[in-house]
């Protein structure tokens, strides 16, 4: 069992503590070309080349959420004024 100050009552396994006796690494991984966590800046070329990693960064998540919210708001306002969106 976990120490009382470490228990997370919000999840079913919040009181579970795991102790590892042995561990075997089956597939070692190389260091990522850019870190997903943290505020480090990377050149645009690197960010575009590893876009799948860049999009996982917190800053990019915020940017994508903001963009989505702005586009949704614009669409709702335009729809309310009688405009329609067609794809051909």
- Residue 14 per-residue DSSP state: T
The Cα-based distances of 27 to 30, 32, 54 in angstroms read 10, 15, 23
Regarding pTM above 0.95, the answer is no
Parse the chain into domains and list their residue ranges: 31-83
Q: Residues 29-44: pLDDT tens digits? A: 899 999 998 888 999 9
Position 2 scores a pLDDT of 80
Q: Residues 30-87: pLDDT tens digits? A: 999 999 988 889 999 999 999 999 999 999 999 999 999 999 999 999 999 999 999 9
Q: Taking residues 5-10, report their average pLDDT.
A: 89
Radius of gyration over alpha carbons of the chain, in Å? 22
The Cα-based distances of 12 to 3, 19, 32 in angstroms read 16, 18, 32
């Amino acid at each position: 069992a976990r120490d009382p100050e470490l228990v997370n009552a919000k999840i079913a396994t919040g009181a579970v503590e795991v102790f590892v006796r042995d561990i075997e690494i089956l597939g070692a991984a190389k260091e990522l070309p850019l870190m997903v966590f943290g505020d480090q800046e990377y050149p645009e070329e690197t960010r575009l080349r590893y876009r799948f990693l860049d999009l996982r960064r917190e800053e990019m998540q915020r940017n994508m959420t903001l963009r989505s919210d702005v586009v949704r708001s614009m669409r709702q306002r335009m729809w309310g004024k009688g405009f329609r969106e067609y794809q051909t």
